[in-house]
Chain A
């Protein structure tokens, strides 16, 4: 039977019980995954934010969109 636990049962000497989490020995791999998630998140977030703002700025520059947006601000504040 598969057992990811670092111990067989709860019946032994409690003073011998160390890590409780599964798959002891994979910690470095888990840290590498977390580093990739962390840096990857910042890259994705910054790309997404820059694109959204550039698109929005372009839309606002067209026609009277910026004036309309400023009028909308008053609507928004009344909501």
Chain B
């Protein structure tokens, strides 16, 4: 009977994650539509391909080393222990391929390893990979219309397959050192996905510089409105839709959360603390409502900013949306939206920062402030189910200072600093920005020249026909 229940638990978990992966694919579709909608017509194709090719570049590297980093780096290493052996996640391991869970071929695995990971490794890997694509895609939008695609894909590999997954190992893992020492709590990734992506965006933008014409000679910014606001809005709705899958994928769907011999099945968050899908559904929707309402008022009904604030409102509450009351989620979302909207325009003017999609604000500031807000609202909550996980001493509790330290690690230490160093190196080698003439003519100009020549020819023919008809 126990074996039957365990088998059902594994099969259900496998199916559950597989479905979340499919749902999360919509995030990438949404990001592509959103970016293309924001970019000017002369840059559409390069903008689209820049984001599409995140899929293979981050996908391959996440297979090679990203997934291994998540399990191996939970102690730092060097903070609460050394590297953790994670054979199941090594790219040459038999469990990184089709496997039925029987006797292992390799000596580095036990029968328990294969029984546990055979059905879960691929779907867990894919769920985390989808988080990786999202993290990289956030940067993609902010740097459109002047960045070289090759530079962006190197940045995407760094962020999607190295830095974000290290932050996940540290602060988004039941054994992460930040959870243990800082009491860090970030259930739906305000910091571990959004703040780090925002920090990297900011760093790359500083080295990349603004688009030609973005700022007047006196430094006043010019508005470059979305070329197709309706495509942008549909893209954002797709991101909302995929975000449901993202939330579901941050949960473990069925787990015995009762310490001792008794059994109590529940969904848990990523730290194996009990929560319910109902709880996160309440809070997701109320945070969305708070973001949309605040965004509408602060932007005076601008569709682009209102929808962006809806998304950002969910991001702002994601750190604590497993535990918040829905009205708390609403209020946190609304308040943070007012702050990030003001900060976006202040930073734009003060530092001449041309963030084409507002990603630093929508993801970075919002994620940072969301992590800090959780420290106040969830002050004193346990960060880990100590008895369930057999901790000898209770782990740190959630505090404002633990959350602030965590937010700084996400945004600045793992987001900004590596992003700045890599983009600075790329810039020094002339690999970061397209030539000035190409930027002026449009990144697609060479590819579109033939189309335009044909269009000119067609116009000439039509004009000739019109003259003939007039005679």
Contacts and interface: CB of A to CB of B under 8 A. Distances in A.
Interface in A1-57: 6, 14-21, 24-25, 27-28, 30-31, 34-35, 37-38, 41-42, 45-46, 49-50, 52-57
Nearest to B448: A76
Interface residues of A, number: 43
B148 interface: yes
A34 B441 contact: no
Tell me the interface secondary structure of chain B in the complex: helix
Assign chain B's interface to a size class: 35 or more
B214 interface: no
Given A38-B64, A72-B445, A53 B102 contact: no
Contacts of A37: 60
Most-contacted residue by chain A among B41, B149, B445 (CB, 10 A):
B445
A50 B431 CA distance: 8
B442 A73 contact: yes
A16 B103 contact: yes
Interface stretch (B90-98, B130-138, B305-313, B354-362): B90-98
A6 B97 CA distance: 13
Interface stretch (B29-37, B247-255, B432-440): B432-440
B100 A14 contact: yes
Contact of A18 (B91, B105, B456): B105
Contacts of B102: 14-18
Contacts of A24: 94, 105
Contacts of B40: 73, 77
Interface string B136-172: 0000000000001110011000000000000000000
25 contacts: A14-B102, A18-B100, A18-B101, A19-B94, A19-B97, A21-B97, A27-B93, A35-B64, A37-B60, A41-B57, A42-B57, A42-B154, A45-B149, A49-B148, A50-B431, A53-B148, A56-B445, A60-B445, A61-B437, A66-B441, A69-B440, A69-B442, A76-B448, A77-B42, A79-B41
The 6 residue pairs across chains A and B that have the minimum distance between CB atoms: A69-B441, A57-B435, A17-B100, A20-B98, A60-B437, A46-B150
